[in-house]
Amino acid sequence: MRKKGILITGAAGEIGDSLIRALTSQGEDQIVTLDLKPLPKENEGLSTHIQGDLMDQALLARLVSEYEIGTIYHLAALLSTRAEFTPEMAHQVNVEGTLNLLRLASDQSQWRGEPVLFMFPSSIAAYGMPNLEIKAQYPRVREWEWNYPTTMYGCNKLYCEMLGVYYSQYYRQLAVDRPVTLDFRALRFPGLISAFTVPSGGTSDYGPEMLHAAAKGVPYEAFVRPDTCIPFMAMPDAVTALLKLAKAPASALSRRVYNVTSFSLTAAEFKDMVLRYFPNAQISFRPDLKRQRIVDSWPAGLNDNDARRDWGWKPDYDLERAFAEYLVPNIRKRYQ
C-alpha cells in the first residue's frame, strides 16, 4: 500500500522553510519534500526529502508509486529578477514544472476518486501597471485588473494560474465520463519578508535585504528609488494564508485565485522602520534601472476583500507588529 503524503516542491526555499514547520506542528500526513537543494539543517528530519529535479519525469513517477499524494504545495520557481537573465529556462521550470505537477495531480485525483488539493503561490508580479500615474490611481488592484505582467516570472505565474483553473474545471471536458480532477487554489502574494531566510533572485528583495543587512551591521545600498511603493507581508502570515485557504470548504470559494496582502509602504518608509530598531544602520539608495522598472510595474497595494469574505483571511501582522513582534526579535537572535 502507498503511504499518504503531502508534497512540497521548492521546499528549501523561503516559503518552504516556514511551511514545513507549520505543517509538521499540525501533525498532518507524512510530508514529502522535493528540491534541487538539501533542506537546511534545522528542517532535516521533518520530512522525507528528495533532492531532485521537478522536470525529472521518472522521479515524479517513482514518487507517486510510493505515496498517495492528497495535497501539493507547489512552491518551486525561479523568481522575477533571476528569471530575466534566463527567461526560457525560467519558463521551463516555472511553467513546464507546474504542468508536470498538474498532470500528476490530475492522475492522482482520478486514482483516488477525489480531487487532489493543489496550492500555488502566485504573486504581485502577475500585474503590470503601465506607468506610475496609473499605479497611483489604482492603489488597491482587484484580481482581474491590470493582468499585464512585464516579467517572464509574472507571465509564468499568470499563465500557471490559468492552467490550474483549466485542469480543475475544464480538463477533458469533452470526455464522456469526465474524470475527477484536481482542486487548484492560488494566492497572489505581495513581497514576503522572513526573519529566518533572505530571498534570492526576487525584485522585492530590497525590503528584506535592508533589514537583514542592518541586523548584521553591514551597509546596504537599495536598488530602488526611495518613493518605490509595493505591498509586503510577514512570512508567518503567508503560511497562515496558505493553510487557511487549503482548509476552506470548496463551497465557500468564489474564485480560484485570491489576492492577499498585509501592508504597503515606500522604500523610504521601510528604511525609517529599520532605523527605528537599528539606529546605526547605513542604508542608501542607488536605483538599478532595470529592477526599478519591474517594481514600478507592480501595484502599490492589493484589494483582498474576496479572500476576507470567502475564507476569513486577515493578516495577523500589520507593519508595526511585523517589525516589533516577528522580524526584529528573530533577526536579532539570528545574527547575535
What is the binding site for ligand SER (CB under 6 A)?
79-80, 123, 125, 153, 191, 202-204
Give the shortest CB-64-to-ligand SER separation in angstroms: 29
Give the shortest CB-188-to-ligand SER separation in angstroms: 9
Q: Tell me which residue of 120, 44, 18 sits closest to 75, measured CA to CA.
A: 120
Backbone angles phi, psi at 204, to 5 degrees: -85, 5
Contacts 24+ apart (CB under 8 A), 325-329: 326/195, 326/234, 326/235, 326/236, 327/193, 327/195, 327/211, 327/234, 328/215, 328/277, 329/195
Euclidean distance between the first and final Cα of the chain, in Å? Answer: 48
Give the shortest CB-217-to-ligand SER separation in angstroms: 25
Residue of closest CB approach to ligand SER: 202
Catalytic residue among 153, 171, 220, 317: 153
Decide whether 126 or 331 has the Cβ nearer to ligand SER: 126
Q: In sequence order, what DSSP letters do the residues of 231-255 get, joined into one string?
A: EEEEHHHHHHHHHHHHHS-GGG-S-
Decide whether 71 or 80 has the Cβ nearer to ligand SER: 80
Q: Tell me which residue of 73, 75, 91 sits closest to 83, measured CA to CA.
A: 91
Please indicate whether residue 153 is annotated as part of the active site: yes
Decide whether 202 or 236 has the Cβ nearer to ligand SER: 202
Give the shortest CB-125-to-ligand SER separation in angstroms: 5
Decide whether 12 or 60 has the Cβ nearer to ligand SER: 12
Question: Is the distance from CB of 297 to CB of 127 less than 8 angstroms?
Answer: yes
Q: Which residue matches cell numbers 470526455?
A: 175
Decide whether 49 or 185 has the Cβ nearer to ligand SER: 185
Give the shortest CB-108-to-ligand SER separation in angstroms: 27
For residue 181, give the C-alpha cell: 480532477
CB atoms near residue 189 (< 10 Å):
26
Residues noted as catalytic:
153
